[in-house]
Structure 1
Amino acid sequence: MSYLELKNIQKSYFLGAQEFPVLKGIDLNFDLGDFVSILGESGGGKSTLMNIIGGLDRNFEGQVLVNGNKLDHQKEKALDQYRRETIGYIYQSYNLIAHLSVLDNVLVSLDMTTLSKKDREKRAQELLVKVGLADHMKKYPKQLSGGQKQRVAIARALASDPKVIIADEPTGALDAQNTEEVLALLNEIAAEGRLVIAVTHSEIVAEAGTRIVRLADGQIESDERIRPAYDSQDKEMLHSRILPRLASVKTAFKHFRHNLGTNSLIILGTSIGLFAVVLFSGLGNGISGYMSNQITKIANPQVMSVSRYVKSDDDDQSFGQSTDDKPAFTQSQLAQIKKLKHVSKVQSADTLLNVNAGYNNQNVKMTSLSTWNDSYSKDSVVAGHAPTKTGEILLDETAAAKKLDANNYKDLIGKTVTLSYQTLNAQKQPVMVNFTATVSGIGKSSTRGLQMNAVNATTVQNALKQANLDSDPKSISVKIDDLDNVTDTAASIDKMKSGSTRLYKTTTIQSVISQVQTYVHLATTILSTIAGISLVVSALMIIVTMFMSVTARTKEIGIIRALGESKRDIRWLFISESVIVGLLSATLATVFAYAAEFAVNGLLKGTADYAFVQISVGNVVTAFALALIISWLAALLPARRAAKLNPIDALAND
């Protein structure tokens, strides 16, 4: 039984409805150890027959049997495996991959074998030594002569240890000396027990083999044996495997490096968009953190503000609002809140508006005067102490103290000031409240525009009683035992009812911070979205570049498909290169972003000792995720187009 059999192979091309037969019933048998030359003039069907034998052409009638088993040309995966395991190609035009070195061109086939990396490199080197290229392994195809290129092609064809070598006009582009040397190599290959099929129109090539099949007008004209076939050797061949994805990534990186100039521009363009997204996200983190920091400096996050609930409260989230128009807490209601789990202290938190302060014939109107409680930070006291005792007051440095005594405002500490403000009695009539207080300290808010004027709560209650007004607080501060319990306790207070009527409305520092962060996040998202528009442009750049790459690498696609790579391998090759561009873009964008963070924070250090740009790990991860998604999506269509290319048409591309 012959190793390779062709039975009634017929092939026609069609131009519209008109049929042009190319092969008209070819029957041939081939044995291992034979060097068979298929001889004929151009247009006689030689190349078509070669493509059918090599598993590239699937549209024909007839059968191809390999070692007695029919090769199903309709099963693409089976054909890929057949080309990987059984077929090795040697082309007239060499068909070497330009961006790969001589050694890497040979390793392309070996990547689809089960050999270890070390053994693959060893075998590639041994084959190059065998064909006389020991000193040229690191060179690239453009640095070789025609004869040397053909030797590389022979070494590559032998790399995967195939049983059948198909040589398409193997000496067509060579001089006499190189022709003689290549024919000698082909005979050596046949002598190893392989089947060598040379497709040629040269009598010299035909007579160098062991058998000549003459083909004319799509039919076998003669089949002549000119010398005995070599003995076929029964030896263990290399085992093939599906190309590992890592091998595709490495090949993609080599092509990326070969076109570094173009790819660098794409990386730069993509990285600018990613950089803007990361920077704006970091800026949002910094501003949000700064606002939270400033708020927590003013007020203790373990203390919440509680007022009596009225419907308008749903729309009022201000911390420290006026309490004149709100109902007061009864003593039973205060006791009810004090009994709640996790509540450690309940204090008055009323705010008086437009309070006149007088000292030594100087007067100033304070826009707000709050009762001191645990919600305030003692860091806001810059001189003296907080008004913790009855009859004490804290004056804001800029808004009050300096206006009462511009030259020696700190000397006000220990002095008595007169205070008055207007409020409403139970009949909604205006009443003037007058009282005095001793300055215990000078306050200063870390937030611009906010005054730090505070008075002892008992002092205000006593003044209200003297004016025959209700002294019960209209707003209270509730201190919680642990920060983790603030949110749940606030929710419990908000749910408290008298019948169906809601009683209380809470405002926590966390809710204020959350609202501020929401606004900052919204602004950051808008800025990042605007920056993200450039990413769309970058994606289009990658798509165009990948399509151009498919066009430029059409022949390469045909070569690696002939070597046995599948459509999946082709898709992964182009997707890998695009993903490499995306990853490097994200890396460059991250470097730019951290450099900008360092520069911006350094420039703003004099304004506020705070890092206004805070790039988080999450921001960097987001940049890499965006880069991967964009590069992957951008490569899908070009990769799909590359995978769908007909190997025969791709090989014919110049």
Structure 2
Amino acid sequence: MAFLELKNIYKSYFLGKEEFPVLKGINLDFELGDFVSILGESGGGKSTLMNIIGGLDRAFSGEVLLAGQKLNHSKEASLNKYRRETIGYIYQSYNLIPHLNVLDNVALALDMTTLTASERKKRALDLLEQVGLQDHVKKYPKQLSGGQKQRVAIARALASDPQVIIADEPTGALDSQNTEEVLALLNKIAAEGRLVITVTHSQHVADSGTRIVRLADGKIISDQRLKPAYNAKVESKLQSRKLPLVTSMRNAFKHFKYHFKRNLLIIIGTAVGLFSVITFNGLGTGVKGYVNEQINSLVNPKQVLVTPYVKSSNNNQRSSYVNLTAGDKTVNTFSNKDIAALKQVKNVTKVEKIHTLSNVATSFNKKSTNITTVTNWTSVLNASSIKKGRLPKTGEIVIDKKNIAKSLTNNPNSLIGKTITLTYTGLNKSGQKATITIKVKVVGLTESSGSSQINAIGGNTIENALKAANMSTDVAALGVSASSMNTAKKVAKNINKLKVSGKLRFTATAVSSMLDRIETYISLITNVLAGIAGISLLVSALMIIVTMYMSVSDRTKEIGILRALGESKRDIRRLFTSESILLGIFSATFATIIALAVQSLANSALSQIAHYSFIQISLSNIISAFIISIVISLLAAILPARHAASLNPIDALAGE
């Protein structure tokens, strides 16, 4: 029984509805150990016949049998396996992959075997030694002569230990010396017990084999046996496998590295957008942290500020604006009954009156300044705002270091322990102007940002002074302490619903709610900026798409070679998708490095303004950037990769 049989092979090409027959009923059988030459002029159907034998052409009628078993040309997966295990190709134009060196070109077919990495390398080196190229393994195809390229192609064809070698005009581009060397190698291959089928129009090449089949006008016109087939038998010892994903990624990296300069431009373009997204998110995190720190340094986040309920002129909505100094008649101060009602609210631990003195003249050692606002120390204020000293008790005060203490002495720290004089002028209960003077001991210095200051007197010092001057001690603001920061919002909500004598009396605002509102605004601004930066990512995606399509166009012949070696459409998709993912990973890596460098430089420069890291790039920001980059790369690769996989391998091999 013949090893390979062709039965009633018919093949036509169509131009519109017009049919052009190429093969007209081919019947052939081949034995292992034969060196068969298919001889004929150009256009006679030789290459078409080879494509059918090699499992590349599926659009024909007839049967191809291997060891008596019919090949199923309707299933692409079975043909991929057939090419991996049975067929080795040698081309007239060599068809070496330019971005792979000699060793990698030969090892390419071994990637689809079960050999280990070291075994694959050893076999590739052994084959190159057999064809006399052991000293050229690190060279690239462009550095080889024509004869050397063809010997590389022969080594690659033998790599997977196939039983059938198809040589399409293997000496067509060689001089006489290299021709003889290649023919000797082909005879040696046949003598090992393989079937060598050569397509040629050279009588000399045909005479070098064991059998000549003449083909003309799509028909066999003669079948001449020159000498018996070689007796040796070879059985493939290698087992094939589907190409692993990691191998596709490794091959993609080799091409990526070979064209690194071109890819670098895309990496930079994509990295700019990713850098902006990372930096703006880090800036948003830093600014929110800074605002939180500053507010929390001034006020206690567990506190709820309560002012009298006032209806707004806008749809009778609640308003928290109170203008006592303008004599707002609608504003009522809080009574003891109000305070008692607040103490009954769930999770309220303390209610404190907030006394406020405005425009307080302050003097020390013949120097004076004016304090905009002085209050009594309550739990609303945060002890962390005192940077030096301690909390004030009755008859003691903490003052702002930068704005007040420096105005009273050149050495603010020396003011601690000293007594300063406060003078406040207001109206007494009779409506007459009255002045109170309070001597207080400085026990602490506070620091705050911007125009915010903390100047606070301990105990009941302010209330006692107001009583002594017959001034009103009523208050229009209360500090309510919640049991925890988590319950503060709920406490504020319950206070806003609370009624005294059937009427709403309170407008409560939790400090944490103010922080949430500020953080919302900051997040909105950050997201808008990041969104604007994200537009550049769309441009980057288009760049990747264009690059991938260019890559498919440049590598059309490579796609045909890989398909001829047995790679599937999925393998081709993986190859181009992997390269696109590499672009995304390197872009995200580059963007991260730049963002971290800018973070360090910017925070160092801004430290002169405030000792705080305004840009805080987190691990989640970086991970998000990598995810975004990889997703963009994947989406950008879908169409080019599908296009590459859909190419007809025969057309791809004929491409330039």
- Same fold, TM exceeding 0.5? yes
Q: C-alpha displacement at 1:299, in angstroms?
A: 1.4
Distance verdict in 2 for CA 1:431–1:552, change over 3 Å: farther
Partner of 2:513: 511
Partner of 1:20: 20
Match status 1:348 vs 2:353 = yes
Distance verdict in 2 for CA 1:378–1:433, change over 3 Å: farther
Structure 2 CA distance, aligned partners of 1:558 and 1:382? 74
Q: How does 1:20-99 map to 2 (within 5 A)?
A: 20-99=20-99
Q: Give the partner amino acid of 1:388.
A: K
Q: C-alpha displacement at 1:485, in angstroms?
A: 5.0
Q: Give the secondary structure class of the aligned counterpart of 1:135.
A: coil
Structure 1 CA distance, aligned partners of 2:248 and 2:86? 22
Distance verdict in 2 for CA 1:370–1:131, change over 3 Å: same
8 Å CA contact retained: 2:36, 2:213:
yes
Q: C-alpha displacement at 1:83, in angstroms?
A: 1.1
Structure 1 CA distance, aligned partners of 2:106 and 2:42? 30
Q: CA RMSD in A?
A: 3.4
Q: C-alpha displacement at 1:52, in angstroms?
A: 0.8
5+ residue gaps, structure 2: none
8 Å CA contact retained: 2:306, 2:477:
yes
8 Å CA contact retained: 2:109, 2:156:
yes
Q: C-alpha displacement at 1:235, in angstroms?
A: 3.0
Distance verdict in 2 for CA 1:456–1:472, change over 3 Å: farther
Partner of 1:446: 448
Q: How does 1:481-496 map to 2 (within 5 A)?
A: 481-483=483-485, 486-487=488-489, 490=492
8 Å CA contact retained: 1:308, 1:475:
yes
1:619 pairs with one of 597, 616, 621: 621
Structure 2 CA distance, aligned partners of 1:411 and 1:257? 68
1:204-258 per-residue CA deviation (whole Å, 9 max, x = no partner) reads 2212222211111000101122211123526353111111111111111111111
Distance verdict in 2 for CA 1:363–1:135, change over 3 Å: closer
Q: Give the partner amino acid of 1:36.
A: V
Partner of 1:576: 578
2:547 pairs with one of 528, 545, 548: 545
Q: Give the partner amino acid of 1:345.
A: K
Deviates more, 1:2-11 or 1:105-114: 2-11
8 Å CA contact retained: 2:360, 2:373:
no
Q: C-alpha displacement at 1:45, in angstroms?
A: 0.3
Distance verdict in 2 for CA 1:146–1:482, change over 3 Å: same
Q: Give the partner amino acid of 1:637.
A: L
Q: Give the secondary structure class of the aligned counterpart of 1:111.
A: helix
Structure 2 CA distance, aligned partners of 1:407 and 1:147? 90
Structure 1 CA distance, aligned partners of 2:162 and 2:566? 11
Identity %: 54
Q: Give the partner amino acid of 2:439.
A: T
Q: C-alpha displacement at 1:113, in angstroms?
A: 0.7
Distance verdict in 2 for CA 1:142–1:639, change over 3 Å: same
Distance verdict in 2 for CA 1:519–1:315, change over 3 Å: farther
Q: Give the partner amino acid of 2:533.
A: A
8 Å CA contact retained: 2:44, 2:217:
yes
1:585 pairs with one of 587, 597, 601: 587
1:295-350 per-residue CA deviation (whole Å, 9 max, x = no partner) reads 11111223332445556597768999999765555545544554666544332235
8 Å CA contact retained: 1:356, 1:421:
no
Structure 1 CA distance, aligned partners of 2:571 and 2:372? 74
1:49-101 per-residue CA deviation (whole Å, 9 max, x = no partner) reads 11111111111111112222222222222221111111110001100001101
Match status 1:637 vs 2:639 = yes
Partner of 1:419: 424
Q: How does 1:326-365 map to 2 (within 5 A)?
A: 326-331=331-336, 334-335=339-340, 337-338=342-343, 343-351=348-356, 354-355=358-359, 357=361
Structure 2 CA distance, aligned partners of 1:559 and 1:567? 13
Distance verdict in 2 for CA 1:461–1:242, change over 3 Å: same
5+ residue gaps, structure 1: none
Q: C-alpha displacement at 1:561, in angstroms?
A: 0.8
Deviates more, 1:449-458 or 1:483-492: 483-492
Normalising by structure 1, what TM-score? Answer: 0.89
8 Å CA contact retained: 2:355, 2:375:
yes
1:394-449 per-residue CA deviation (whole Å, 9 max, x = no partner) reads 555676677789999959953443323469x9xxx978675443333375441211
1:100-119 per-residue CA deviation (whole Å, 9 max, x = no partner) reads 01110011100011111111
Normalising by structure 2, what TM-score? Answer: 0.89
Distance verdict in 2 for CA 1:591–1:19, change over 3 Å: same
8 Å CA contact retained: 1:578, 1:631:
yes
Match status 1:374 vs 2:369 = no
Deviates more, 1:373-382 or 1:105-114: 373-382
Structure 2 CA distance, aligned partners of 1:230 and 1:292? 87
Q: Give the secondary structure class of the aligned counterpart of 2:22.
A: strand
Partner of 2:116: 116
Q: C-alpha displacement at 1:455, in angstroms?
A: 4.1
Distance verdict in 2 for CA 1:490–1:135, change over 3 Å: same
Deviates more, 1:242-251 or 1:59-68: 59-68
Q: Give the secondary structure class of the aligned counterpart of 1:181.
A: helix
